[in-house]
Amino acid sequence: MKMELEKTAKVSLVGAGPGAKDLITVRGLKVLNEADVILYDALVSDELLSELRTDMPKIYTGKRCGKHSHTQDEINELIVKYAFEFGHVVRLKGGDPFVFGRANEEIEYVEAFGIPVSIVPGISSSIAVPSSQGIPMTKRGVSSSFWVMTATKKDGTFSQDLQYAAKSSTTMVILMGIRKLIEIVDEVSKYRGRMTPIAVIQNGTTENESCVVASLDSIQHHTSNIDTTMHGIIVIGDVVADHPSFFEEEVQRILHDAI
């Protein structure tokens, strides 16, 4: 009888891309198909997982709007446990692992056990999702930079970066801020004009993608079209005016004001 060789413990952190199954990198897909077990997050598409080997265990470790299947400490422990048990663990994260993905924490924990870690970058949703809606991050004569930030800090207060960015002319890309949308708008409105364009994009690059475009002044009238239980991306800045819906919004506003 031929004995199976013992597998070497190793871990790969792979970025799954912004949502659509075919926006993962070629290298990322190759590593997924070489895995012995996959630990995946909430933003990884079911369509991508369904195309992988059926004999490979796929374990959900996602976090979605306060509903966490595992704590971060538990996830760290699972990665190590399965690496020793199965061999090659792929930690699959939506977007890019290093954009608010807590990748460094996982790497430090895993390497402390002598397990090697490799990284496969992913297409970040912070850039790809606005692009899918035709919203550029930069535009000559309009915006020469963009700033990607989280809405709040660990203690629930606003990150000071939000204020710094609002005071500038940069394109603001805000992640993990859907549930505090109106508070964010109120804060940014202290430093930018009320007609500054804003877009809220959810389910980016998928068939269910939705995009609400308005101004800081009018976004509160569109909250019924935004699902606060879902992740999303907020884009604030004059580049959002490139979206055709912004022109329609402005026409409606002008007609309303004229009545």
7: annotated active-site residue = no
Exposed e or buried b per residue across 192-228, where buried means at least 16 C-beta atoms within 10 angstroms of its C-beta:
beeebbbbbbbbbbbeebbbbbbbbebbeeeeeebee
Please tell me which residue in 41, 93, 172, 238 is annotated as part of the active site: 41
Please tell me which residue in 10, 56, 63, 139 is annotated as part of the active site: 63
Question: How close are the terminal C-alpha atoms of the chain, in Å?
Answer: 86
CA 157 to mean position of chain CA atoms: 20
* Residue 248 to residue 23: CA distance in whole angstroms: 30
* Residue 88 to residue 128: CA distance in whole angstroms: 29
195: annotated active-site residue = no
What length does the chain have?
259
Please tell me which residue in 176, 217, 227, 230 is annotated as part of the active site: 176
* Residue 223 to residue 233: CA distance in whole angstroms: 14
Sequence-distant (6+) residues with CB within 8 A of 2 are none
Query: CA nearest 153: which of 176, 171, 185, 136?
Result: 176
Paired residues of 15 in beta bridges: 93
154: annotated active-site residue = no
Q: What is the set of active-site residues?
A: 41, 63, 176
